[in-house]
Amino acid sequence: MTKRILFILMCFTISGFTQDIPCEKIVDYKMEVELNPENKTITGAQLLKWTNFSAEPVQEIYFHAYLNAFKNTQSTFFKETFADPSAPLYFGKDRFVDGWGYLKLNSVKASISKKFENKDLSAGVQYIQPDDQNINDQTVFKVVLPAAVDPSEEIIFNIQFTSKLPYWGYRAGYKGNFFFAGQWFPKISVLENGKWNCYQYHCNSEFYADFGDYDVSITVPQDFIIGASGVLTDSSASAGKITCRFVQSCVHDFAWSASPDFQVVTKTFQYSDFPPVKIRLLYFPDHKNYVDEYITTIETALEHFGLWYLPYPYPQFTIVDVLVDTKTGSMEYPTMISMNYPWNAAKGSKEFQWVIIHEFAHQYWYGILASNEFEHPWLDEGFASYSDIRLLNAVFGEINYSKEYLKRRNFSIPFDFNKIKTNPAFIRMNNFSKFASSDKTDQFSWNFSNYNSYKANVYHKGSILLATLENYLGEDVFSKIMKTYATRFQFKHPLPQNFIDVVNEFSPQSMDWFFEQSLYTAAVLDYTVSRISSSQVNPPRGLDENGNLYSGTKPEENKTYFSEIVVERLGEFIIPVDVVITFENGETIKEVWNGQKKWKKFSYQSDAAVLKAEIDPEQKLLLDVNYSNNIKYRKRNSFPAFRWSAKWMFWLQHLLEVTMVFS
């Protein structure tokens, strides 16, 4: 007994590798795994130490088995994907032949000091379906212990497992001799407020886990190169195989990839007094032209995010450039991202850099702050999308407007309008506006009406509500808010109210009214100028105060005009708006309307007629779903419409010609 416990304690000691990262460590994983390229499996031995930080004893332990989402078409993930025509096609065409994936538990044993040792719990493993009662879904399982884990007590699990990677799978999979392992091992859930925060793997859902230490030794054929979360501490070769050990403290997941075709580039990022970061890029030879772009973009992100939020705390960051025609790219993991080079991206759209920045931004909101992506997906995706907008604007300014034609799931024809420049925020605004009234933003990720609404209201609305808030409060105030939120809640799993409290701390007024509408309702923000009139003021006619007729005097040479402007709130979202009235003599008047009532009339008497009226001329309110109705001319101005229609007719003709060529 004493020797066994001593061995286990040695397993959880990270020798020669220390980091000063201030997180509460609840889990410790040590895994020894081997990839079999022939049968696409990973055989693994896992020692998991879990500490009960709650105030109550715990006798049932919940785990995730995410890979079982790809076991058959009866999983909740598959059913939701097939039922939603707007969802991406996540799997290759050969999946029905040999492409299924799964997580098989070969044995599950557990030990608690002085209670039980190496108790075999395999026969008692129960697959459960807490979300939809789909009895065929096996992405969550639980074990019942012979004795409870008391508060502050530790339990050690010894789990033997086999992971089969799916062909062309989503976030995990293989193609040829390329392998990617994401969400691939038995992963303990999060105990919160006396309950397990454990959900099935849904089409739209991502992940949530506790912080801790990971020590993972991976064995592959000797000619393979591995990229993984954490730092490579040592390696050894034997019998045509190589074993690489990766270690990382204060993370909540671990992913890795392997291929004999990988090329490797490394560079150390150093800036000011930030801790140095080793950037490690694994790429395929046909992508060598993009190496500099990868490295430069990550260096730019490390610098700006370090200044805006907090310096990146880990010693290494890895980029895995995956095979183009797999679904394992554009995904974030602790200290690592996977990237699909967007081969069909419009050239001037900066989409390549945009995706790199977006995935790196997850290192902060998903990785370091670690919000709950099951329950509050916008706290990660919305913040990452806001951060990518902010960095794109800081580095590139306006980018070329691009559009995808004939878009069907995984296919589209992109086109770059190189003479039309736009703010990246407006692209997200446009993508959101089509689904603005579909769903509220703050809800469980699988409760949205469909994938399009999930994407629009989590990614796009999540980002532009933050950008709208920034414009409303001012850049200086909002920068303090974001920096305070990031530093205060690093490694703390913040909730929406934590962010709202920080906003109210720095805002001159409570912003609860803003969040109540933008997060917890599907209220649409849409203001319009509905009417403009100006009429010349003529000399009075009729009887004066003495009962005499006014004399029919001629109008004064200096004409006077009476003007009325009516603005209207078309949506339910109430927010103060600027209204700027421009007169024909060039004079302008700026009004602020609180938007409380459905409409507001402004009246003026001046020596010039009104030329136009415009709501939010600085375009601060990015949540506005229709900017085209924000401006109105008293006299019809047909030139802008003619100009746009001429451009679109030209491009429509061009598209039809392209279509004819393809047909």
**For the chain, what are the domain ranges?**
26-208, 403-518, 527-637
Q: How far is CA 345 from CA 221, 342, 404, 405, 415, in A?
A: 35, 5, 9, 12, 8
Taking a C-beta distance cutoff of 8 angstroms, is the pair 320, 260 a contact? no
Q: Calculate mean pLDDT across residues 136-156.
A: 98
Question: What is the largest distance, in Å, between two alpha-carbon atoms of the chain?
Answer: 118
Mean pLDDT of 425-444: 94
Give the CATH architecture of domain 527-637.
Sandwich (2.60)
Give the mean pLDDT of 127-151. Answer: 98
Average pLDDT, the chain: 90
pLDDT tens figures, 515-537: 999 999 999 999 999 999 999 98
- Angle at which helices 461-473 and 424-433 pack, to 10 degrees? 120
Counts of helices then strands in the chain (DSSP H, E)? 13, 32
Determine the Cα–Cα distance for residues 14 and 570; give it in Å rounded to an integer.
60
Q: Does the pLDDT at position 660 exceed 70?
A: no
For residues 444 and 378, the answer to whether their CB atoms sit within 8 Å is no
**pLDDT tens, position by position, 272-324:** 999 999 999 999 999 999 999 999 999 999 999 999 999 999 999 999 999 87
pLDDT for position 643: 46
Chain segment 315-359, per-residue pLDDT in tens: 999 999 998 778 888 899 999 999 987 666 666 668 889 999 999
CB atoms within 10 A of CB 311: 16
The answer to whether the Cα torsion of 77, 377, 520, 86 is positive or negative is negative
Look up residue 276 and give its DSSP letter: P
Give the Cα separation of 285 and 544 in Å (integer): 92
Is the pLDDT at 189 greater than 70? The verdict is yes
Q: What is the DSSP letter of 654?
A: H
- Alpha-carbon distance values, 576 to 240, 336, 462, 569 (Å): 69, 42, 20, 11
533-547 pLDDT, tens digit each: 999 988 778 888 888
- The rounded distance, in Å, linking the Cα atoms of 336 and 323 is 16
Of 219, 186, 155, give the one whose Cα is nearest residue 26: 155
**Taking 70 as the threshold, does the pLDDT of residue 658 lie above it?**
no
Q: Which helix (H) or strand (E) covers residue 164, if one does?
A: strand 154-164
- pLDDT value at position 343? 62
Say how far apart CA 625 and CA 488 lie, in whole Å: 33
Contact 539, 637 (CB under 8 A): no
- Name every residue whose Cβ is closer than 8 Å to that of residue 612 and which is 6 or more positions away in sequence: 532, 581, 582, 631, 632, 633, 634
CA–CA dist 127, 114 (Å, integer): 29
Number of Cβ atoms within 10 Å of the Cβ of 95:
19
Q: How far apart are CA 525 and CA 431, in angstroms?
A: 15
Instruction: Quote the CA–CA distance of 163 and 339 in Å, as a whole number.
Output: 23
What pLDDT score was predicted for residue 408? 56
- Read off the pLDDT band of 659 (50, 70, 90): low
- Above 70 in pLDDT, residue 406? no
pLDDT band for position 553 (50/70/90)? low
Q: pLDDT tens for residues 372-387? A: 999 999 999 999 999 9
pLDDT at 99 over 50: yes
Closest Cα partner for 326 from 95, 80, 139?
A: 95
580: left (phi over 0), alpha (psi -120 to 50) or beta: beta
Architecture of domain 26-208: Sandwich (2.60)
Residue type (1 letter), 286:
D
Work out the pLDDT band at 417, boundaries 50, 70, 90: low
Distance, C-alpha 465 to centroid of its chain: 14
SS3 196: strand
Per-residue pLDDT tens for 225-275? 999 999 999 999 999 999 999 999 999 999 999 999 999 999 999 999 999
* Backbone dihedral angles phi then psi of residue 38, each to the nearest 5 degrees: -70, -50
Q: Where are the beta strands (DSSP E) in 115-211?
A: 116-120, 126-127, 140-149, 154-164, 173-175, 178-181, 187-188, 190-192, 195-197
